[in-house]
Amino acid sequence: MRVIKNISIILFLFASSINYAQVTFEAKVSKQKLGVNERLRIDFEMNKDGDNFVPPNFDDFTVVGGPNTSLMNSYANGKKTYQKTYSYFLAPKKKGKFTIKQATIEIEGETYKTFPITVTVTDAVERPNGQPDASDIASEKIHLVAEVSNSNPYLNEPTTVVYKLYVSPDVGISSNWREKQTPRYNDFWSQNVEVKGLNIQRGQYQGEDYRYVVLRKTVLYPQKTGNLKLEPLVLDITVEVPTGRANIFGQQIMTQVPKTVTAGSRTINVKPLPEQGKPADFKGAVGDFSFNVTTSKNQLNATESLQAKIEVTGKGNLKLFELPKLTTPSSLEVYEPEHKENVRTSLSGMQGSISDIYTIVPQYRGKYPIPSVSFSYFDLKTESYKRITSNEIVIDVVEGPTASANGSEKTETDNTKQTVKPSTNTFAFIKISSNWETMSSKDFFKSTSFWCLLLLPFLAIPLAIVIRRAKDKRDADVVGSRIRKADRLAKKYLSEAKKNLRQKEAFYESLERALHNYLKAKLNIETSDFNKEKIEDLLTQKHVDKNVVAEFISILESCELARYTPITNVTMQNDYDKAAETISLIDKQIRK
């Protein structure tokens, strides 16, 4: 019996040792020698699931990705195989020989450690040594390209930049990509063109078949001559690269690699407009235009009104030049013009019409000629200047007083002079005599007025005390003061938008500008740094409620969408009210 008991103990210990030996936990690196400009992948692999995984401190490296977790279960010859991997992507900080220390994990109550690994970082290399790793494959298979339609335009000639992301069929990208750097177009007037969905298209890049999506389209009008630089678009994306292994269903196992891609900076050489033949009244219009001067009526009575419209229609930099001024006889009362724009922007540039509408009110009977008006522009097709001149318009005022009837004014055609007759009663309305009455001091002393003036300071004292207490109470009301301050701030930033409530484009431009100015004031960030993710993060850090942050982001998206869709006055009013309420709520909740 004792022998059997000893044999049982030995068998139990042997089985335990076999079970213990089956647990593996080790670290593997993609390469042990790499350039300072390369990335290193390190995998911590285990054949049984564990808890409390603790990675080493990567002191000499920057973690650019990870941890990414992968899990694989497979069956071969009736035997189950399990593998779990934690992957990190590291960028070396400098050259040298560095040791990556141990990682630890708990498996079935036991603590396991990896062996330290030493890697050598050398000078920068053009290409990795040996077989390319996943990061190298991602670099070769993903390309962000900025396609410029015209790299040598004239001043104020439109050019288009389209950003395309080319992806090889061999790899894929996940949906969690984001813009790391948004391009800024210094010295350009710019307008983004809406991209409706990321539609996957097929094309070629450097002679090879690729899939691509259009990420952004922007129309640019250069405002300076010379070499102008376009800042790059930079994206952070996650690339799915095949590992060369398959799962139990025969499907390719993919590994995820974080990657930063850039379109690179582009330079546009802007030509100046020629000086030869430039008209003296040229205001900077570049494109292909038609020009008209019209009036709502040519015959009317005195004190009635008419509208005179100066309008330019066509294709070109419509928002970037001034219309010529209307000149009228001095006998016509002319009000400041109302400027209107009906301009849409597509990939080919701006097209539509702009106009100035003058309201004219004649005061006297007669015929009033409105002189012809000239408009000059630079025609891109012929590369020459052109001038369009309107016809003279005569306004016939058929009924009303004549300008010479009272000698106050004359018509444009009246060249006769009138004699001014002096009148002996010119200053008859001025009173030159007075009826002063003497007032005795005794009449005022002890009168009602005397006692009122005497007691007034004493009566004012309790009134001042009441007012002071009310002010102290109001100042002590911190919540109420914060609410009042927030409401004032919302009205301050949205005042310009309110003025443009009936003009869709002007309203949404001023509304978006108001929201950005508010964020600049509250968050101390530049407009060029704005993106929805950053705004959301900063407001959340300032303890603003998530629903309020989401409402603010939706208003910004409404401003972008409104440029391309028809909007009613009711919708604009609702967006204005929503913006005012949201700014007020943010200001109440935000914390320094």
Q: What angle do CA 215, 219, 221 make, to 5 degrees?
A: 150
Q: Report the alpha-carbon distance of residue 99 to residue 339 in Å, rounded.
A: 70
* 419 CB-near residues (< 8 Å, 6+ apart): none
CB atoms within 10 A of CB 94: 9
- Asked whether residue 101 falls in the same domain as residue 118, the answer is yes
Whether 403 shows a pLDDT value over 90: the answer reads no
CB atoms within 10 A of CB 584: 21
Phi (first) and psi of residue 577, to 5 degrees:
-60, -40
- Asked whether residue 124 falls in the same domain as residue 151, the answer is no
CB atoms within 10 A of CB 547: 9
Name the residue range of residue 548's domain. Answer: 478-589
459 inside domain: no
Burial of 218 (C-beta count, 10 Å sphere; 0-12/13-18/19+)? buried
- Asked whether residue 195 falls in the same domain as residue 114, the answer is no
CB atoms within 10 A of CB 167: 19
- Asked whether residue 248 falls in the same domain as residue 357, the answer is no
pLDDT band (50, 70, 90) for residue 149: very high
Nearest to 555 by CA among 502, 499, 493: 493
Angstrom distances, CA of residue 559 to CA of 277, 537, 581: 42, 20, 16
SS3 486: helix
Burial of 132 (C-beta count, 10 Å sphere; 0-12/13-18/19+)? middle
Q: Report the alpha-carbon distance of residue 212 to residue 37 in Å, rounded.
A: 27
What are the tens digits of pLDDT across the range 303-331?
Answer: 899 999 999 999 999 999 999 999 988 77
CB atoms within 10 A of CB 78: 5
Whether 558 shows a pLDDT value over 70: the answer reads yes
Decide if 277 contacts 237 (C-beta within 8 A). no
pLDDT band (50, 70, 90) for residue 408: very low
316 inside domain: yes
9 inside domain: no
In three state form, how does the secondary structure of 277-313 look? CCCCCCCCCEEEEEEEEEECCCEECCCCCEEEEEEEE
- Asked whether residue 216 falls in the same domain as residue 169, the answer is yes
- Residue at a domain's end among 363, 397, 431: 397
| Structural Rg of the chain based on CA atoms | 40
Whether 452 shows a pLDDT value over 90: the answer reads no
- Residue at a domain's end among 331, 365, 397: 397
- Asked whether residue 177 falls in the same domain as residue 218, the answer is yes
Q: Report the alpha-carbon distance of residue 212 to residue 204 in Å, rounded.
A: 9
- State the CATH number of the domain containing residue 383: 2.60.40.740
- Asked whether residue 537 falls in the same domain as residue 560, the answer is yes
- Asked whether residue 262 falls in the same domain as residue 339, the answer is no
| Complete DSSP assignment for 177-220 | -EEEE----TTEEEEEEP--S---EEEEETTEEEEEEEEEEEEE
Angstrom distances, CA of residue 546 to CA of 158, 199, 556: 41, 31, 15
Whether 345 shows a pLDDT value over 90: the answer reads yes
- State the CATH number of the domain containing residue 109: 2.60.40.10
Q: How many domains does the chain have?
A: 4
Q: Which tokens hold the place of 420?
A: 């001014």
Q: Report the alpha-carbon distance of residue 160 to residue 147 in Å, rounded.
A: 8
Nearest to 66 by CA among 44, 51, 98, 48: 44
Nearest to 189 by CA among 233, 156, 153: 156
SS3 567: coil
Average pLDDT of the segment spanning 292-303: 93
Phi (first) and psi of residue 205, to 5 degrees:
-130, 120
Look at residue 412 in the predicted model and tell me its pLDDT: 41
Decide if 590 contacts 544 (C-beta within 8 A). yes
More confident of the two residues 13 and 312: 312
Q: Report the alpha-carbon distance of residue 561 to residue 365 in Å, rounded.
A: 51
What are the tens digits of pLDDT across the range 560-589?
Answer: 666 555 566 667 788 888 888 888 888 778
One-letter identity of residue 119: V
91 inside domain: yes
Q: Report the alpha-carbon distance of residue 70 to residue 86 in Å, rounded.
A: 7
Whether 70 shows a pLDDT value over 80: the answer reads no
Decide if 257 contacts 134 (C-beta within 8 A). yes
- Residue at a domain's end among 240, 270, 300: 270
Decide if 314 contacts 158 (C-beta within 8 A). no
Residue 186 region by backbone torsions, left for phi larger than 0, else alpha for psi between -120 and 50, else beta:
beta
Phi (first) and psi of residue 561, to 5 degrees:
-70, -35
SS3 6: helix
Whether 390 shows a pLDDT value over 60: the answer reads yes
Q: What is the mean pLDDT of the chain?
A: 81
- State the CATH number of the domain containing residue 526: 1.20.120
What are the tens digits of pLDDT across the range 25-34?
Answer: 999 998 888 8
| Complete DSSP assignment for 417-478 | --PPPP-TTTTTTS----------HHHHTTSHHHHHHHHHHHHHHHHHHHHHHHHHHHHH-H
120 inside domain: yes
Nearest to 143 by CA among 234, 263, 230: 263
* 68 CB-near residues (< 8 Å, 6+ apart): 86, 87, 88, 255, 256
Q: Which tokens hold the place of 428?
A: 């008859």
Whether 5 shows a pLDDT value over 70: the answer reads no
Positive or negative torsion for Cα 393, 394, 400, 401: positive
Look at residue 488 in the predicted model and tell me its pLDDT: 63
Identify any residues that bridge with 119 across adjacent strands, giving them in sequence order: 98
pLDDT band (50, 70, 90) for residue 405: very low
What are the tens digits of pLDDT across the range 192-241?
Answer: 998 888 888 999 998 889 999 999 999 999 999 999 999 889 998 988 88
16 inside domain: no
402 inside domain: no
Decide if 238 contacts 176 (C-beta within 8 A). yes
Q: Report the alpha-carbon distance of residue 112 to residue 100 in Å, rounded.
A: 16
- Asked whether residue 149 falls in the same domain as residue 94, the answer is no
Q: Which tokens hold the place of 429?
A: 């309305």
- Asked whether residue 141 falls in the same domain as residue 266, the answer is yes
- Asked whether residue 263 falls in the same domain as residue 143, the answer is yes
Q: Which tokens hold the place of 219?
A: 């129309």
One-letter identity of residue 180: K
360 inside domain: yes
- Asked whether residue 125 falls in the same domain as residue 175, the answer is no
Nearest to 282 by CA among 155, 159, 392, 369: 155
pLDDT band (50, 70, 90) for residue 10: low
